[in-house]
Structure 1
Amino acid sequence: MTSGIGVLPSQRIEQMIGAGTLAGTPAILTDQIQPASLDLRLGDTAYRVRASFLAGEGRTVAGRLDEFEMHRIRLDGGAVLEKGAVYVVPLMERLALPEGIQAVANAKSSTGRLDLLTRLITDEGVEFDRIAPGYTGPLYAEICPQSFSVLVRPGMRLNQIRFRDGQAVLTDDELQERHARHKLVDGVAQIDHGLAFSVDLKPRAGDLVGYRAKPHTGVIDLDRIGHYDPAEYWEPIHTDEGRIILDPGAFYILVSREAVHIPPDCAAEMAPYLAMAGEFRVHYAGFFDPGFGHDAAGGAGSRGVLEVRCHEAPFVLEHGQVVGRLVYERMAAVPDTLYGAGIKSNYQGQGLKLSKHFKAVSG
C-alpha cells in the first residue's frame, strides 16, 4: 500500500521511524509527523557564526563550526536570535537514509511568514535543503532572522523534511489531467513546467493588499500564538490602483490571486518564477501538503500566501502578474491524514494572513 514511487506519506514516515531510518534524541513525537513531512526540532545550543556555509564534500558541519564559530548560546530557558545574524543549531533528529530515498527540507509556513531564513545543512552537503540518498548522520538548521529578532527554545520546529522515492514531479500533461479531474485552481490553469500563480492586488472587498515588515521592532517569542499586535510589527499596504512598488531590501506578505487545491494524492512545492520577470524573490516556505485547499464536499481551495523580498532596484508589482509556479509531485500513497483534517493546520482556507503569532486583523 505504501510502496509506490513518489513523496512518502505519513504512514511511510512512521515506518521509517520504526526501522531507525529516522531517529531522534529525545525520541520523535507523533505530532511531528505531517501528511507528507516530518517537523524537525531545535537542539539545545545555537552557534553564532561569521557567515553562512555548506560543509562541502568530505567535510563535516562540526569541523566547519570550528572555523566559523564566534560564540555559542544555550537555548534552555529561551535565547534571542538577533536580526541579521547567522546561527547554526544542531537538530534533535538524525538520518540513516537507504539508497533510493532522497530528502528535501523547507521552512515551515510560520517560519517563512516571519522572514526567518531557515535552511537545512548536513555533513558533506553541497546544497542547502537537499540530502542525497544513503546519507547517514546529523542534521543542522542554519537560521538567519531577516526582519525580526526571535526568542527560541529547544524543541521548537522551524523547518520540516520530506522524503522521495524515485521521480515524483508531475509532467505538464499529468497536471492538465489532474486539473480536469480536481480543478487545481479556481480560474484558468496556466500550466508550463508547473502551475503558474499570480499576485492579488485587487481584493474583492476593501483596499488592503498586504503587509510590509517594519524595520525596528521588538522580539517575537515563537511560543506565543495569537499574541502580538500586528501594528507593532507590520505596516499595512493599501492600494486601489492594482499595483504597488516594492522597495529594495523590504519584506512583504502578499497573497495569490488564485485559490489553490492540492489533491490527496499530490504534494506541491512553490518555485520562484524566472529571474528575468523581476527583481524580487517569492517564497521562503514553499511546501504544500496533500489536502491543502481540499474539501471532500467541494471546496474552493485556499489562496497561497506570498513571502516577497525585493532585491537591488525598486520594482512595480501589478495585479495578476505571474510571480511563481507550483510544482506538483505524486504521492507514493495517499496519507492517512490530510492537511486540515483533524490536525493542527493553521492556514487551511486562508486568504491574506500573517503568521500564527499575531492577533487576527479585524476588518
Structure 2
Amino acid sequence: MTDAHTAGILPCQTIEDLIAQEAITAQTPFDVDQVQPASLDLRLGARAWRVRASFLPGLGRRVTERLKDVAMHELDLTRGAVLEKGCVYIAELQEHLKLPLNVSARGNPKSSTGRVDVFVRLLTNHSRAFDDVDAGYTGPLYMEIAPQTFSVLVRSGTRLNQLRLKRGEPAKLSVRSVGVDLSPGMGGIVGFRGRRHAGVVDLDHVDGHDPRDYWEPLETRHGELLLDPGEFYILASKDDIEIPVLEAAEMTPIDPSVGEFRVHYAGFFDPGFGTEEASAVGSKGVLEVRSHETPFLLEDGQTVARLVYEPLTARPARLYGEGGSHYQRQGLKLSKHFKAWS
C-alpha cells in the first residue's frame, strides 16, 4: 500500500489511482496495457508539425505559441505519416495532466524507440527543460521527434515515450556503472550498425521487418570496436542488469570527458527487470550508441553509462515481464520491429 508521505517513484497502482481521480486524462480511452510497473506509456495525438528548429517554450509561454514561429507544415497522424530522418517534428500527445502539487514527472523514450535511433523529448507549456514536468503541472503534453538513422511511419496512438511520476525527492540514490560487452557471441556478432539508406520502419509493425535490410552485423577478434562519427550502434552491457522490485532505474550517459559518444537514448528500467521474481534472470542492458565528431575506440568491459536507482513509494502490483515482454531474458537484441537475426 502506498505511503502518501513516502518520497519516490509511483508504482502502477498509484498511477491508475491518478487516472481514476482524473489527474491524468486522455482524448481516447486508455489502453489496457498502457500503465507499466512504474511508468505510463504516452500516445501520439492527431496532429504533428514539421518544424525548422527545436525549441523550448520558456517560462510563461505555451508550446502552441512557439509553434507559430517554427512550424513548416502540419501532418495528419490519424491517417499515418512518415517522419523523415534528419527532420524535426513536434507532435501533440493524447494524454493531459493535472498533477497534485507534490507529484512531478519525467519523460523518456521507450526502449523500442531508442533502438531505432529516434530521438524523442517531452515538452510541456512553460517548460525550460526537456522531459521534466514540474510538480503540480496542469496542461497538455507534446513530443519532439527527430529520426536519426531511419525514417519512420507513425500514427495517432503510436507509443514512442513514457512518463515516470514521482512524489518528492528521495533522500538517497544509488549508482552502478555499466560496461560494454565486446566479447564475441551469437556467432561472433558483438553488435549492429544501422544502414544509412534503409527503408521506412513502421513503428506499429512488430516482427515486421527483415533486420538485414536495416542493420549491418559487427564482429571483433580483439575485444575492440572503432566507433565511426555519426554512425548508430546497438551493443549490449557486459553484465546482467537487475532492478529490485522496490526500485526503478534510469540509465544515464557518462561524463563526456570519458569518451566522445552518447549511450542509451531510452533509459527507464522498471522494477523486476532481470530478477528471479520476474523470471528474467540473465537480462542484458541494450546500449544505443552514437559516436560524435571523432572516431573512438571502445574496449571490452569499458564503462559507457551509469544506472541510477530510485526507490518506489510502494511495491508495484505488477513487475516487469509479467504477462510477457519483447525484451525478456534479452541479450544483444534489436527492437521488436525486426524479426530475429538468423
Q: Aligning the two structures, in what range does the TM-score lie when normalised by the shorter sequence?
A: over 0.9
Distance change >3 Å, CA 171–CA 38, structure 1 → 2: closer
Matched, 1:301 2:282: yes
Match of 1:186 in 2: none
Contact 2:43–2:158, Cα closer than 8 Å, also in 1: yes
Q: Distance in 1 between matches of 2:92 and 2:306?
A: 32
Shift of 1:204: 4.7
Match of 2:317 in 1: 336
Displacement over 6 Å in runs of 4+: none
Contact 2:280–2:321, Cα closer than 8 Å, also in 1: no
Shift of 1:122: 0.5
Matched, 1:23 2:25: yes
- Normalised to the residue count of structure 1, the TM-score between the two structures is 0.91
* Higher deviation after alignment, 11-20 or 160-169: 160-169
Q: Say which SS state the counterpart of residue 67 (structure 1) adopts.
A: helix
Letter in structure 1 aligned against 2:151: S
Distance change >3 Å, CA 229–CA 297, structure 1 → 2: closer
Task: Give identity over the alignment, percent.
Answer: 55
Q: Distance in 2 between matches of 1:297 and 1:41?
A: 26
- Per-residue CA deviations over 1:54-96 (Å, capped at 9, x if unaligned) read 1101100000011110000101221100011110010000101
Shift of 1:206: 3.4
Shift of 1:205: 5.4
Q: Distance in 2 between matches of 1:107 and 1:144?
A: 12
Counterpart selection for 1:213 from 181, 194, 198: 194
- Per-residue CA deviations over 1:157-209 (Å, capped at 9, x if unaligned) read 0000010111237444xxxxxxxxxxxxxxxxxxxxx1001000013553210
Distance change >3 Å, CA 171–CA 76, structure 1 → 2: closer
Matched, 1:112 2:93: no
Shift of 1:356: 0.4
- Per-residue CA deviations over 1:100-148 (Å, capped at 9, x if unaligned) read 1110010000000000011100100011100110110000011000000
Counterpart selection for 1:350 from 311, 315, 330: 330
Distance change >3 Å, CA 220–CA 133, structure 1 → 2: same
Contact 2:115–2:334, Cα closer than 8 Å, also in 1: yes
Q: Distance in 2 between matches of 1:50 and 1:336?
A: 43
Q: Distance in 1 between matches of 2:95 and 2:315?
A: 25
Matched, 1:8 2:10: yes
Match of 1:65 in 2: 67
Question: How many matched pairs?
Answer: 340
Mapping of residues 88-99 of structure 1, within 5 Å: 88-99=90-101
Match of 2:210 in 1: 229
Letter in structure 2 aligned against 1:135: Y
Contact 1:169–1:330, Cα closer than 8 Å, also in 2: no
Matched, 1:264 2:248: no
Letter in structure 2 aligned against 1:99: L
Contact 1:265–1:290, Cα closer than 8 Å, also in 2: yes
Runs (5+) with no aligned partner, structure 2: none
Distance change >3 Å, CA 287–CA 13, structure 1 → 2: same
- RMSD over aligned Cα, in angstroms? 1.3
Q: Distance in 2 between matches of 1:325 and 1:17?
A: 32
Letter in structure 1 aligned against 2:92: P
Q: Say which SS state the counterpart of residue 284 (structure 2) adopts.
A: strand
Counterpart selection for 1:281 from 235, 256, 262: 262
Letter in structure 1 aligned against 2:337: H
